Amino acid sequence: MANRFENKCAVITGAAHGIGAATARLIAREGGSVIAADIDEEGLAALCKDPDGSIVAARCDVLKTADIEAAVQQCAETFGGVDIVFSNAGASGPSSTVEDASDDDLDRMMHMHLRAALAAIRAAVPHMRARGGGSVVLTTSVSGMRQGYAPVLYSLSKGSLIQLAEIAAVELARDMIRVNCVCPGFVPTAIFARSMGFTEKTSEKFARRLDDPAKAAQPLPRACKPDDIAEAVAYLASDAGSFVTGQTLTVDGGLSLTPGPGDTRSVYAPIMSALGLDPNAVEPGPAVWSKLGLDKKK
Which residue stretches of 238-281 are H helix?
269-274
Label residues 48-61 b or e (16+ Cβ within 10 Å = b): bebeebbbbbbebb
Nearest to 112 by CA among 67, 74, 143, 150: 67
Residue pair 177/151 in contact (Cβ under 8 Å)? The answer is no
56 — phi, psi (to 5°)?
-120, 135
Q: Which of 149, 154, 235, 268 is catalytic?
A: 154
- 60-63 long-range contacts (CB < 8 A, ≥24 apart) are 60/13, 60/89, 62/13, 62/14, 62/37, 62/89, 62/112, 62/116, 62/119, 63/108, 63/111, 63/112, 63/116
84 — phi, psi (to 5°)?
-135, 135
Active site residue 235: no
Instruction: Report the alpha-carbon distance of residue 180 to residue 274 in Å, rounded.
Output: 33
How deeply is 104 buried, as exposed, middle or buried, from its count of CB atoms within 10 A (0-12, 13-18, 19+)?
exposed
Nearest to 180 by CA among 160, 166, 170: 166
Residues carrying an active site annotation: 154
